[in-house]
Amino acid sequence: MFAAAAFAKERTTVLMALALVSGLGLGSMYGLLALGFYVTYSVSGTVNFAQGGSMMLGAVLCYSFAVTLGWPAAISIALALLLCGVWGLVVERIAVRPFASRGSNGWLMATVALGIVLENATLFLFGKEPRNYPSVLADAPIDIAGVPVLPLQLVIPAAGLAAALALHLVARHTRIGKAVLAVMQNPDAARLMGIDVGRAIAGSYAVSTVFAGIAGMLIAPLFNVSSDMGTLFGIKAFAVAIVGGITSAWGVVLAGFCYGIVEALIAALFGSTYTQILTFAVVIAALALMPNGLLGSAGTKKV
Amino acid sequence: MKRQFTGWMAAAIALVLVATAARAAEPIKVGQISALSGGSAKSGEGITRGLSVAIDEINAAGGLLGRKLELVRRDDESNPAKGQIAARELIDQEKVAVMFGGIDSPVSLAIVPIANQSKVPYFSVWAAATNITRNGASPNFIFRVSAVDVLVDKALANHAVKAFQAKKLGLILVNNPWGESNEKGLTAAAKERGVEIAGIEKFEESDVDMVAQLTRLKSAGADTLVLVANAAPGAQVMKSLQRTGWSVPVVSHWGISGGRFPELAGPGAQKVQFIQTYSFFGPQNAVGKKVLEELEAKYPDIKGPADVVPPVGVANAYDAMHLVALAITKAGSTDGDKVRQALESLDRYDGLIKSYDHPFSAENHDALGEHDYIMVHYVGDKIEPVTN
């Protein structure tokens, strides 16, 4: 009797651990996408609402190069990320700058619209069916303390943390980073100091879509590759960015982890019927308790 | 004055004659509204192939009422709202005589009231939700040559017990009206078969990870899983299952066969046993041999029975088109209400899936029953009957 109870308890522990691993993996995806929101918002006060589309672009390009054309993985990944960066520049140039430079909020809709254009163009060019992206990292689970974990599920959170760390280091310790920080604090003063504000903003968009592209490539082997794969991720990532406090890189990544884990735990404990209801209720509660997000700070506006 | 009047009369009669002649030559349009893109694109392609082969046969034999048949297709993108728009367009603009549906029960359920209001017969040739045909309308313009969830659920519960000695079923269902239809059906079927339901778990179409749901079913002691999902989300369930390292038999409804399930799900795909209404493997009746030959001639990618994927889409659509043709001939008209009455009083049709004997009546709009189902599995990316 006692043995059975102990067995049941141990099994429950393994089950919870599995849910945690899954949640951490998805959470890092949300975090990576949300970092993209953080980067552009910090520099320009605007975001690309079609981050989900950029994520999809990374996965679709990588699939096309590596699987359809059969190019080596390293070249495929590098080229896909490069093109993601170029896409970021395009988004900024045609969907953000024309509006933001006139003080209009039109970029809100323009980025969404451009994302829809991208999705439908992909549907047309890539094909209508979801495809499988195989990866050696997602073939067989390895055993960690009795919990089966795919190697990729360890790589994903590591990539999320590495991206946040890289942002931190670049911002504090490089000339470009310091210039961008200057733009964030006071664009006019930065311009007077000879810093090219327009290029800093364009660059932030490229970085943001590259992060999204990385997220797309990492999630593809666990999911599938299709034109609408990024939509739901984009929405959740925006929630994560807000909860994390869109002005803090570490806050955003932390919020991503929390979101993924809360989502998985709710599904494991209460059943999947309640997942969306409870998760988004938690989001609202978190915002009510911490209006500036987990690690964000209130912006001061001088009148 | 009188002469002028006669002249006008002659002109008018001539005009009417010309118009009637033009009309007689006009094709009879039949509509197809199904998923032609997205994760279930293959299902729509299968339905198109089944309809096209039947239409070619009918046209080669001179058409119906002296008119040729023409297929008009619309992509519903598995989206009920888009399906409704397509249905209105086909009815109002294209003036189709009948419509054929697709794989998605939510889309079919959304079109049911439109078809009934417009009195245009609508054939489900895949979507299996029970209340598509059993919708309470009278007269009812919705017919089906496909499986019905309540009966599929009985067959799935039976198979779980027979093939895997199941005692506790774990249900893992897509969270939409189709999943709901099967939740009811499976609960009733389990009760009838005397097996327990260990747990009922749901997931969203776009969910990536179902580990949490599967873990709950495992800890509830499920010994066989029953899966209800289309190909892409079904593949996510199998990938998640592989990650948990839980080896458990899986029996599935047929939604998974509407897309690239073996590719998307990986090795896990091969262990799933699922239901179909027809297999082009094994000894075929005369119609089966003929249809396979015609498919091979018309579609270069079909080289044998294994390439007819998904077989249900092709077979159901083929038989449905012929039943419609018989009804139009019998009614002597393409008028929706007359075709409906003719369908309800058809007597015999030696079809592909079986020999239909009074396939429909005023009360029963389902041409197939539980004895018309077979269990199959994937071998590579071919669908073959289960032999056990």
What pLDDT sits at residue B3? Answer: 59
pLDDT recorded at residue A301: 53
What is the predicted pLDDT for the residue at A177? 81
**A150 contacts B209? CB cut-off 8 A:** no
* Residue B6 scores a pLDDT above 70: no
Cα of B211 to nearest chain A Cα, Å? 6
CA distances from B321 to A156, A183, A293, B298, B360 (A): 50, 67, 59, 17, 14
Average pLDDT, chain A: 86
What confidence score (pLDDT) does residue A1 get? Answer: 42
Q: Which among B213, B242, B264 has CB closest to A224?
A: B264
Q: What percent of chain B has pLDDT over 90?
A: 72
pLDDT of residue B77: 92
Using DSSP, state whether B192 is helix, strand or coil.
helix
For residue B202, give the nearest of A8, A148, A272 by CB distance.
Answer: A272
Answer yes or no: are the C-beta atoms of B232 and A224 closer than 8 Å. Answer: yes
d(CA B344, CA B143): 9
Contact between A126 and A74 (Cβ < 8 Å): no
CB contact under 8 A, B211 and A18: yes
Q: Annotate B51-118 with DSSP letters as a single string.
A: HHHHHHHHHHTT-BTTB-EEEEEEE-TT-HHHHHHHHHHHHHTS--SEEE--S-HHHHHHHHHHHHHH
**Residue-wise over A255-287: b if at least 16 C-beta within 10 A, else e?**
bbbbbbbbbbbbbbeebbeebeebbeebbeebe
Residue A171 pLDDT: 80
**What is the distance in angstroms between the Cα of B144 and the nearest Cα belonging to chain A?**
27
Rounded Cα distance, A48 and A37, in Å: 7
CB pairs under 8 A between A and B: 98
Is the confidence at residue A148, as pLDDT, over 90?
A: no
Per-residue pLDDT tens over the stretch B193-206: 999 999 999 998 88
Q: Is the pLDDT of residue A13 over 80?
A: no
> For B74-128, how does the pLDDT look when each residue is reduced to its tens digit (9 = 90+)?
999 999 999 999 999 999 999 999 999 999 999 999 999 999 999 999 999 999 9
Q: In chain A, which residue's Cα lies nearest the Cα of B176?
A: A273
Q: What is the pLDDT of residues A81-130, one digit of tens each?
A: 999 999 999 999 999 999 988 888 899 999 999 999 999 999 888 887 88
Mean pLDDT value of segment A254-274: 86
Q: What is the pLDDT of residues B246-280, one digit of tens each?
A: 899 999 998 898 888 999 998 889 999 999 888 88
Least confidently predicted of B111-115, B171-175, B383-387:
B383-387
Region B320-330: mean pLDDT is 96
For residues A158, A162, A165, A167, the Cα torsion angle rounded to the nearest 10 degrees is -140
Q: Do the Cβ atoms of A191 and A197 come closer than 8 Å?
A: yes
* Res A7: pLDDT: 54
ipTM comes to 0.79
Mean pLDDT of B302-331: 92
Confidence bin at B388 (pLDDT 50/70/90): low
Amino acid B15: pLDDT = 58
Is residue B153 within 8 A of residue B209, CB to CB? The reply is no
Residues of A in contact with B260 (CB under 8 A): 129-132
Q: What's residue B12's pLDDT? A: 62
**pLDDT score of B7 more than 80:** no
Output the pLDDT for position A196: 83
Residue range A264-286: average pLDDT? 84
pLDDT tens-digit series, residues A192-203: 887 888 888 999
CB contact under 8 A, A272 and B236: no
Q: Which of B36, B64, B66, B70 is nearest to B51 (CA)?
A: B70
> How far is it, in rounded angstroms, from Cα A34 to Cα A29?
8
Per-residue pLDDT band for A180 (boundaries 50, 70, 90) equals confident
Angstrom distance (rounded) from CA B147 to CA B124 = 9
Q: Give residue A188's pLDDT.
A: 81
Minimal Cβ distance to A18: which of B38, B215, B239:
B215
Q: Given a cut of 90, is residue B360 above it in pLDDT?
A: yes
Q: What is the pLDDT of residue B380?
A: 86
> Helix-strand-coil percent breakdown of chain A, rounded to 5?
75, 5, 20
Query: What is the four-CA torsion angle of B151, B152, B156, B159, rounded to 10 degrees?
Result: 70
Mean pLDDT to the nearest integer, B39-47: 92
From the list B184, B175, B124, the residue with the least C-alpha distance to B151 is: B184
Query: Is B232 close to A219, i.e. CB distance below 8 A?
Result: no
- In the predicted model, is pLDDT for residue A150 greater than 90? no
Average pLDDT estimate for B38-66: 94
Q: Which amino acid is at B335?
A: D
Question: A152 to chain B: nearest residue by CA?
Answer: B243
User: Given this model, what pLDDT does residue B351 score?
Assistant: 93
Is residue A302 over pLDDT 60? no
Distance of CA A82 to the CA centre of its chain: 17
Which residues of A sit within 8 Å Cβ distance of B?
Answer: 8, 11-12, 15, 18-19, 21-22, 25-26, 123, 128-132, 134, 141, 148, 150, 219, 222-224, 226, 228, 231-232, 264-265, 267-268, 271-273, 276
Taking the CA of residue B204 and the nearest CA in chain A, the distance in Å comes to 9
The mean pLDDT value for A242-270 works out to 88
pLDDT tens for B205-220 read 888 889 889 988 998 9
Segment A161-166 shows an average pLDDT of 89
pLDDT of residue B121: 97
Q: What is the pLDDT of residue B277?
A: 87
Q: Residue A44 — very low, low, confident or very high, per pLDDT cuts 50/70/90?
A: confident
Counting residues of chain A whose pLDDT is more than 90, the rounded percentage is: 40
